[in-house]
Amino acid sequence: MRNEEQLEQSLYCMIYTLEILHHKGLSIRDTIRESLAYLKDWYQMTGERRYLEIAILQIRAGFQLKMLSMEELEFYHEVCEQMSLTLEDILRENLLIAKEIKLNRAQIKSMIRKWMPSKKNPMTIMQVVDDIIDKVANHRFGHYYYRYTRGQGESTQEDIYELVINTSECYFLDIKDFKIYTFRMEDI
């Protein structure tokens, strides 16, 4: 596997790991900040460069998820400098995975594949869209899952989506296709 492919695979693993924090009621922003401080300290105590590599990976994942705190930019710069990098270097090499969308019906509907009401989930696509808009616009904290099952027997396919809203973060995750959507802050 090429170095770029390994880096991308590691980045996806870090993003998945950070996403799990929400399931435990933890903030991605706070955890990244605290984790980076520990990794920086461990590097200074041991001289082990791999701690800084993990720190840079966390910064990259935070950028991908748009979950880095702007108040902490100076700290991120310090971590990057120890690896002879700048935040600009990381941004330049990093194509953003998270797609920012407007909080309107057309944009929200574009996040969801084919959807038909069923016995398991009687909501129509527009009810799902309106539900997402309501929860995001009104900051209804929580983890919300939207599931759509199509087909029967061996050909059954399930689309699973997760909406995560807490005090500092709000995003929509397409679990099947691993797509991440964030919402424009001026729309929230």
Which tens digits make up the pLDDT trace of 128-144?
999 999 999 999 998 89
**What's the pLDDT tens digit per position in 24-40?**
888 888 888 899 999 99
Q: Is the pLDDT score of 126 beyond 70?
A: yes
Count how many Cα atoms sit within 13 Å of the Cα of residue 98 in the half-sphere of its side chain: 23
DSSP state of 147: E
Q: What is the pTM of this model?
A: 0.59
pLDDT at 178: 64
**What's the pLDDT tens digit per position in 59-112?**
888 877 777 776 777 888 888 888 888 776 776 565 456 788 999 999 999 999
Q: Which residue has the higher pLDDT, 5 or 103?
A: 103
- Pair of tokens at residue 108: 């929200």
- The CA distances from residue 5 to 65, 86, 95, 107, in Å, are 19, 22, 14, 31
Q: Is the pLDDT score of 159 beyond 50?
A: yes
| Contact assessment for residue 59 and residue 74, using Cβ atoms and an 8 Å cutoff | no
Query: Residues 103, 109, 114, CA angle at the centre, nearest 5°?
Result: 165
Domain ranges of the chain: 3-93, 99-187
What is the chain's mean pLDDT, rounded?
Answer: 83
Sequence-separated (6 or more) residues with CB below 8 Å from residue 123: 117, 131, 146
